[in-house]
Amino acid sequence: MHKLLHMLSREVRILELTSKVQHEVSAELSKTQRDYYLREQLKAIQRELGDNDGPGSDVDDLAEQIGEAGLPDEALASAQRELERLRRINPASPEYSVARTYLETMVAVPWKKSTVDNLDLKHAKSVLDADHFGLEKIKRRIVEFLAVRKVKQDGPVRQPILCFYGPPGVGKTSLGRSIARALGREFYRISLGGVRDEAEIRGHRRTYIGALPGQIVQGLRRVGTNNP
């Protein structure tokens, strides 16, 4: 008898738990359906009133910015896929903010804005002499580097880069700034001191909450050109 009562009590608890779970699931579904219905009503009301401040307006603005950003084909295809995904996401969802930030970053990058290099070697030499006393060997190497760029500027040639090394305070950054000033380019400095994670340079994956682009992309956005 006691064993039967124990089994019946267990079945009753299982039924109560099942009923509770089903009730919660039904309530959640009802809430989701209600939210969807209210959002659709809100969109309809905003369209009737000509209100352009809703989430739909944000997506339309992003679509217009994507069309004007001058993205290359691969980036444009990626942006359009993400835009279509954004249209289907609930604006209250955390994914909406992540997708929107991604698209805003893409359109903020200066894809088609670049400066024209000033390859006047006399001007470059005067800038280097004005900014740095001595360092004749280094300045001569910089002028030679710019001379090669001037000769090869019309051809699709891969040129070497300049790499300065030495202890802090010997003028590496100031030389880079002088080269940028001589060429008429923007200058952006990325400090790698203490960096242990390459994600700080490349950017974090979007699966992380609050993910941001890396320092290179942030630098391009700040200087406003694609060839600093």
pLDDT value of position 149? 83
Return all residues near 164 (Cβ < 8 A) that are at least 6 apart: 138, 172, 175, 176
Q: How does pLDDT run across 13-47, given as a tens digit for each residue?
A: 777 777 777 777 666 656 666 666 666 666 667 66
* Residue 133 reports pLDDT greater than 70: yes
Residue 203 per-residue DSSP state: B
Return the domain boundaries, the chain: 1-51, 52-108, 116-185, 190-228
Question: What pLDDT band is residue 10 in, cutting at 50, 70 and 90?
Answer: confident
* Mean local confidence (pLDDT), 59-75: 83
Q: Residue 222 is encoded by which pair of tokens?
A: 């700040």
CA distance 13 to 164: 74
Fold of the CATH domain 116-185? Rossmann fold (3.40.50)
Q: What angle do CA 160, 166, 172 make, to 5 degrees?
A: 65
Q: Which pLDDT belongs to residue 49?
A: 65
Burial of 26-63, coded b for 16+ CB within 10 Å and e otherwise, reads eeeeeeeeeeeeebeeeeeebeeeeeeebbbebbeebb
Please provide the average confidence, as pLDDT, over all residues in the chain. Answer: 79
**Which pLDDT value is given to residue 4?**
64
According to the model, what pLDDT value does residue 135 have? 85
pLDDT score, position 167: 86
Q: Is the pLDDT of residue 54 over 60?
A: no
**Average pLDDT of 64-93?**
82
What is the pLDDT at residue 32? 67
Q: How many other C-beta atoms lie within 10 A of the C-beta of residue 186? A: 19
Average pLDDT over residues 209-227: 82
